[in-house]
Structure 1
């Protein structure tokens, strides 16, 4: 309830400011899914319905101030999730930017890609790494390097219980060695206490977990193909675990892409699990159809067929 009121306040503020000056960018999203599992009947749901507001205020030096909010109704409109809500001051040439609020955490592939809109399982649910948190973020680009460092509360998307909170430090440094931008390699670090749940979002039944994690990520563009990889080593509650994720996309035709993704987890007490997905993506105007087969082995062997209808609509005021 606290986050709902916060989002409503931010929305009204951005709309009011947009009437006076600056530019307001609005993006709306719909994510509908049908799923059949080997041990269940065919099910369908509104996976997510939401969007984002971005208010840009410029001066003689360009985009100077940015206010951003992103939220959605999740799981058949039963859960409200405030992903991000922050104000940002941009430095010259993007060498430094300071954001305050519920900020995106500078970690791994999250810096330019979100797995939440893909039909397969997100790697961050298994690794229990929060994707956003309340605090301050300093990031920017200097030459071939991009960097980010965030000092946050550790609550993720859960309601704030106290101030300043248990505390979480997250940082990443990325390198783009070629002028074409075809390859990006990053190193991430996270240390502190986070509020996690079975969903990996800091929602539902939440408990605190001491974490220290190191991650390596890379993104490679090769002709019609794209490959992403992320590996994480994490220590929590005196135990170690490792997570590996990779996905590849290849454009057979301008409107037909083959997508594959796989991940594996090596947990304490010799526990192992993983999943693999293969399917296709077909974008038509503002709609994207995705469908494929997923095999999971985390708790028990599960075979699934998934169909996703994703729609994104953007406008400027």
Structure 2
């Protein structure tokens, strides 16, 4: 038996090489993309690159698929590589869905979306921290979220004034792309207009190849979502709902990694076995950073018609109203 196991391992190791990803997380930024890929990374058949945001289809497609392949981890014939780049969904170029499909015909995509009003606040906090740590100039002029919203909400309202959901999705998407190229801070709000982009993806991918996840539900029931994703990807379901428990200090869900010592005793609450997201995650969900409810209501009023149209497009798989 031992020799047979060694032979199998030898074959698998011999077949290890860099392959294009079979699964890609396409967005949305600040809705839980890190949680999805990091929890799935505990699966023995899922491998993620060290830099798991490649931005290949945004900026590096001209470098060729060999370049992209070389950014992936080595996998054997049973494993799959996965990357996630949260701005694939709603940043230029317009033909990213076509580029992905033509490059990796059998790829499966994961899209996690969330209420765009608090998402914008989370994105703002993220960028302000980048400004503090790296002197990133994107948020230099906006010392608080209210100042930012006072500046950019009127710009987005003017940009989308008179929007006709039946005839102008393409035009709306193009306006969002122009903001991404000309006025990057505006994307903190524009990125929440999901309906501008969803049809562009649905014309290339269907329910069997594009999985849409409610980010709010993922926060509260990550085990159920990860179980469902294993079925969607087509890998054995080894990450189970009961493996996800709340951390006693943070209250956020962590994956409870099964270790050899669990075979030797009745360990159920071993905190050392919990695999949690880094401290930089959940900054706006731990109660320490709050936003004025009036600001959120202004944003919710702005997003409402776009949300309603998005819900119709995805057959009400998620709801925030």
TM-score range, shorter chain: under 0.3
**Higher RCO (CA 8 Å, separation ≥ 6 residues):** 2
Name whichever structure is richer in helix by fraction: 2
Larger Rg: 2
Name whichever structure is richer in strand by fraction: 1
TM-score calculated relative to the size of structure 1: 0.26
